[in-house]
Chains A and B, each alone.
Chain A
Amino acid sequence: MKNIWAICKKEVNTYFTSPIAYVVIAVFLVLSGFFFYNAILWFNSQAMQMAQNPYYYQQLNINQMVFSPLFHNTSIILLLMIPLLTMRLFSEEKKRQTDELLYTSPISINQIILGKYFASLFVLLVMLLLLGVLILFTFAFGNPELAPLLNAFLGLLLMGGAFIAAGIFFSSLTENQIVSAILTFGALLLFYILNWTSYSARGIWKDVLNYLSIFQHFDGMTQGILDTTDVVYYLSFIFFSLFLTHSVIQSRRWR
């Protein structure tokens, strides 16, 4: 545990002593804020229109009309931002040959991978907490339901965690950070839109494609549904990606 903490601490310091974390967090907040602002404006105009009809007015739900689309948009922003966070994690070590220091120290490859994973997860957590602060303002002027909100945040955290794990895997494949980022983005986008093809698929393939789609599992969580299948999916995705990272690093030593 101490070794994981040592690696994690060093990576977090690297994120925050360089512009990487600040730029990623700032762009994330600006874009999320933009979507949030527009969603609130639209909700406000709808509320004013429906104020004349008490029945429709009561049907207005800020969670569904503001937060659900906001979280969908946020997931797309994460899809764009996380490859930039993870691209350097192993690529840079390999390019600078600092990996020689890590692999000749009495720490395991798993500890190195987990240390780097938790460092990126920490940056994600900072991003989500700052987004949470933004959302807190709606409690001052409205009455949103807290439980579905927390559920959606858990969804974002799990989905972001899966994105990070995939990013770490692609970073372990190449010395080139740009290649690492492009591969991560491409693979994540593919997993994100995998369910699009499920409409034309038949039989078991339809279920398989739906199950593999990252978006499919996130959609339910933004609606306030906490399904263990979704949690297991994300945890499996994370585990499998980190396992592949370990295999890549281990096999590279034999080449």
Chain B
Amino acid sequence: MIEVEHLTKKYGDLVALKDLSFKVEEGKIWGLLGPNKAGKTTTMRILTGYLPANEGKASVAGYDVFEQPNEVKKIIGYLPEALPLYPEMTVLSFLNFVSEIKQIPASKKKEAVERSIEVSGLETERGRLIKHISRGFKQRVGIAQALIHDPQVLILDEPTIGLDPKQIIEIRQLIKSFKGERTILISTHILAEVTQTCDGVVIINDGLLMASGSLEALTASFREKEGVVVRLKKSGESTLSLLREIQGVDRVSRENDELKIEWSKGKDLRDEIARLVVEKGLGLVEMRPLAMDIEDLYLKVVSGGVKQ
């Protein structure tokens, strides 16, 4: 659905994107991650036709972003990081204006505006001037304008920035509700948001692609050790010694009331651990695979300079 191939963007001497390539499949939600000035906003601006690229190709739903910009703009809903709102307009008049410049036919305009107000939860604010509504509602107006023409693709640059926790949860739920219906690319600094809403990620740093793929595939490929986390009724030093004696176990460590058992990639020692726990009557409460969370992955890729 979204395809970026060898994209390079320069601002004078500054190279913002270097040979960036990635793909987002139809109906999936992908996160675009990276530190500040990594090139996330530039990538989004290129995809939405706001900026041209110096080299490379980009296409959305088969339309070339540079050759058929108007076709692309018709099927993309874009929420920029800085909300593009006119404070002197009311929410309703702003959305009416957006519906006109997004070329919604006159017969469907009213319905489109009402639907975007309903979906974004703006019923109570429709008649108020944008300058008088709260930051959270302004963000919702931004989302409403992105959704107004019922786009196949949504590009959201930091959609939950500046919102309170309740509003963040609501916006996340709204985004999640589009899964399968729309292809979404979200840029965010909140890594928990990625875990909760995204199917995959593109991680960039200094304009370079560092990693790209589904969350499962990426965490699996970046994990150096396999392992489990177990919670036992008896988890004293003697238990740790017993677990360390299992052949193939590299490391056993305690984290709060849980024990982390690690071994080399390619092995599976879960049977042996379970047998030992039962035989020795250690009282198994919980056993779960050792997962690499998004924070670990992000830090590994960005700070460690690992490139995939």
> What is the chain A residue whose CB lies nearest that of B82?
A97
A100 touches B80 (CB 8 A): yes
User: Are A255's CB and B12's CB within 8 A?
Assistant: yes
**Interface hit among A36-44, A101-109, A166-174:** A101-109
User: Which listed residue, B82, B89, B102, touches A105 by the CB 8 Å rule?
Assistant: B102
Contact assessment for A104 and B78 in the assembled complex, using a CB-CB cutoff below 8 Å: yes
Q: By the criterion CB–CB under 8 Å, are A106 and B73 in contact?
A: yes
Chain B residue nearest in CB terms to A10: B97
The CA of A33 and the CA of B12, in the complex, are separated in Å by 53
Shortest CB–CB separation between residue B112 and chain A, in angstroms?
14
Q: How many residues belonging to A are interface residues under a CB distance threshold of 8 Å?
A: 25
On whether the beta carbons of B52 and A253 are closer than 8 Å, the reply is yes
The listed residue (A14, A103, A105) touching B88 by CB distance below 8 A is A14
B183: chain A residues at CB < 8 Å are none
Name which residue of chain A comes closest to B100, CB basis. A6
Once the chains are docked, how many angstroms separate the CA of A255 from the CA of B89?
31
Binds A, one of B43-51, B171-179, B226-234, B283-291: B43-51
Among the listed B50, B93, B102, which residue makes an inter-chain contact with A103, where contact means beta carbons less than 8 Å apart? Answer: B50
Give the complex CA separation of A98 and B88 in angstroms.
13
Are B49 and A101 closer than 8 Å at their CB atoms? Answer: no
When C-beta atoms are compared, the residue in chain B nearest to A97 turns out to be B82
Q: Are B74 and A14 in contact (CB under 8 A)?
A: no
The interface residues of chain B lying within 8 Å CB-to-CB of A103 are 49-50
Q: Which of A9, A13, A17, A101 has the most CB of B within 10 A?
A: A101
B93 and A98 form a contact (CB under 8 A): no
Smallest beta-carbon distance B35→chain A, Å: 22
- Asked if B73 and A254 sit within 8 Å, CB to CB, the answer is no
User: Which B residue's beta carbon lies closest to that of A102?
Assistant: B101
Mask of B60-82 contacts with A, CB within 8 angstroms, 1/0: 00000000001001101010101
Chain B residues, CB < 8 A from A13: 89, 93
Q: Which residues of A contact B127 (CB under 8 A)?
A: none
Roughly how many angstroms separate A3 CA and B104 CA in the complex, as a whole number? Answer: 11
Could you list 12 examples of A-B contacts with CB < 8 Å?
A: A2-B103, A6-B100, A14-B89, A96-B86, A98-B84, A100-B45, A101-B80, A103-B49, A104-B49, A104-B80, A105-B102, A253-B52
